[in-house]
Structure 1
Amino acid sequence: MTDTHPTRIDHILLFCANPLVSRGFYRDVLGFEIAQEDGEVTHLRLGETRLMLYPIGGDKGWLADEPTLGRGVRFYFDVPDVDVLCDRVKAKVPRIYNFDDFKPISGPIIQPWGVREFGVSDPDGYRLTFVTRVVEQT
């Protein structure tokens, strides 16, 4: 019998009000590489993570309704060193957050579930959290 369970998420599609602004944010602020561009659609890659930025407007006959940007979803990205990425992001973005209470923070925080993390909102309001697993000290 063939296993039909998913092994991983292939990519995440994010609807964008301004694809050029979003592309610049993911490339210049977060360090994603542009893997491919198909007209207004941009495919991005950071390690094994793949995102597709898709513009609002145009032919969207396959959508049931207009998408609500940035609502109802949060993305968590595992990175090798959250502090290095945080320094890079803080140099280009005015605020980073702890999204549990949506309060601005000055740097990554340690969560009780064993990660060091910080969050940032993209130009369309999607909340992105970057984590590095930490070893508990005894």
Structure 2
Amino acid sequence: MITGLHSLIYCDDPEAARAFFRDVLGFPGVDTGGGWLIFTTGPSELAAHPSSWEYEGRSGGTDQRFDVSFMCDDLALTMSELAAKGVEFTGAPAEQPWGYSIGVKVPGAGEITIYEPRYDPPALM
């Protein structure tokens, strides 16, 4: 049976992204050979979302098929800790129906979302 979730982030500069995950976010990992690092990211969860929606009088949609986000317990504290390590954010924290979020620049890999959920994450139950 399924025992975990393996996520991939495709990068223009994998070394820079790996250093960010290892040195800035502090994810422990193993070298599976040739510098290919696999990181422990903690509990995971999976959701199936519609590609178009209406919510509270607003509609939206996306062409995305997959997305990876990081969860935290306290977005303001997490942002403060990451800013002290030189992390760049995109935009300002945004209140969403499901939590509070912000974009984070991952060197060599683009942007990823960090969010503080408003729900009890099943990954942590």
TM-score between the two structures when normalised by the length of structure 1: 0.56
Superposition pairs of residues 4-15 of structure 1, within 5 angstroms: 10-15=5-10
What is the alpha-carbon distance in structure 1 between the residues aligned to residue 10 and residue 27 of structure 2? 17
Unaligned runs of 5+ in 2: 45-63, 120-125
How many angstroms apart in 1 are the aligned matches of 2:3 and 2:79? 26
What code does the residue aligned with 1:78 have? M
1:31–1:46: 8 Å Cα contact kept in structure 2? Answer: no
Task: Tell me the matched-pair count.
Answer: 99
In 2, Cα distance between the equivalents of 1:43 and 1:127? 19
- What 5-or-longer segments of structure 1 have no aligned partner? 50-71, 98-103
Q: CA RMSD in A?
A: 2.7
Asked if structure 1 preserves the Cα contact closer than 8 Å seen for 2:14 and 2:108, the reply is no
Partners of 2:71 and 2:23 in 1: CA distance: 19
**Which has the greater radius of gyration?**
1
Between the aligned partners of 1:47 and 1:115, the Cα distance in structure 2 is: 19
Identity %: 24
Contact 1:115 1:134 in 2 (8 A): yes
Structure (1 or 2) with the greater strand fraction: 1
Mapping 1:82-97, distance limit 5 Å: 82-93=75-86, 95-97=88-90
Residue in structure 1 matching 2:42, options 24, 32, 47: 47
TM-score, normalised via structure 2 length: 0.61
Query: 1:79 offset after TM fit, Å?
Result: 1.9
